[in-house]
Amino acid sequence: MGSSELDIVKIILHSGPIVKGVLILLFFASIVSWAIIFKKRRNLKKIEKDNSEFLDAYYSCKDLRDVQLKTEHLPNSPFKVMFSEGYSELDSLRSKYGSDIKNHIKDFGTRSLERALRKGANEANLKMGALVPTLASIGSVSPFVGLFGTVWGIINSFTGLASGGATLDAVAPGIAEALVATAVGLFAAIPAVWFFNRFSGETSKINIKMESFGEGFLNNVERSLDD
């Protein structure tokens, strides 16, 4: 194959078995990466929509029981998950202490409610963070997998050149196929790293809002007990 005939498809088709294996692995990693990216984008949009709908119900209802009933259809909202855990704990305290719940909270504080809210936040974070570490793994490992293919291909090319059985024109395709492995590795890694950082940033913003919501929930409970 002369240098004038070189193109990406021919380079891949004429590559050695090791380099081909590397390229197949990287293409598979890229497909997995993009599948995760599209899935997480859809999930984050659902979270944003459900959070907005939940807050509308939360601030428009005067009773927490009404909030619980009106938001049962919002499983994607982290606020809803936190609220459900907090409300369940509050309901348990009311069942246990009855009208004395106000004195109980004055004596022992809202630690049990805080733990319930934290449990809900942890559950929501596990759901939001699902598959995101896979993007980080693809982004960090893919360049090195591509580099392995490059090093292997270059070694094979220069081994043939050193033996005197090949000219520079003859080994050029081997060098090209080796460099393609690095390019494909970067092709798989760059989107994975970029979207990992983006999803991590969006999740951090949601966590800040979750913390604010938790504090607001506790304040709301304390005010309702004072009424």
Could you identify the residue written with the tokens 């033996």?
Answer: 163
In the structure, what pLDDT confidence band is assigned to residue 166 with cuts at 50, 70 and 90? low
Record the tokens describing residue 227, joined without a space.
């009424």
pLDDT at 146: 95
Q: Which residues contact 114 (CB under 8 A, 6 or more apart)?
A: 214, 218
Q: Which domain holds residue 50?
A: 3-226
For residue 78, is pLDDT > 80? yes
Enter the pTM of the model. 0.85
Hey, what amino acid is at 73? H
In the structure, what pLDDT confidence band is assigned to residue 160 with cuts at 50, 70 and 90? low
Closest C-alpha among 133, 114, 145, 191 to residue 24: 145
Alpha-helical segments (H) within the chain:
8-13, 17-60, 64-70, 78-97, 101-108, 111-128, 132-162, 168-226
Q: How many domains does the chain have?
A: 1
Half-sphere exposure of 114 (CA within 13 A, CB side): 8
In the structure, what pLDDT confidence band is assigned to residue 2 with cuts at 50, 70 and 90? very low
Instruction: Compute the mean pLDDT over every residue in the chain, rounded to the nearest whole number.
Output: 89
Q: Give how far Cα 82 sits from Cα of 31, 68, 88, 143, 183, Å.
A: 34, 11, 10, 39, 44
Closest C-alpha among 91, 71, 64, 47 to residue 209: 47
For residue 165, is pLDDT > 90? no
Cα separation, 184 vs 145, whole angstroms:
10
pLDDT at 75: 85
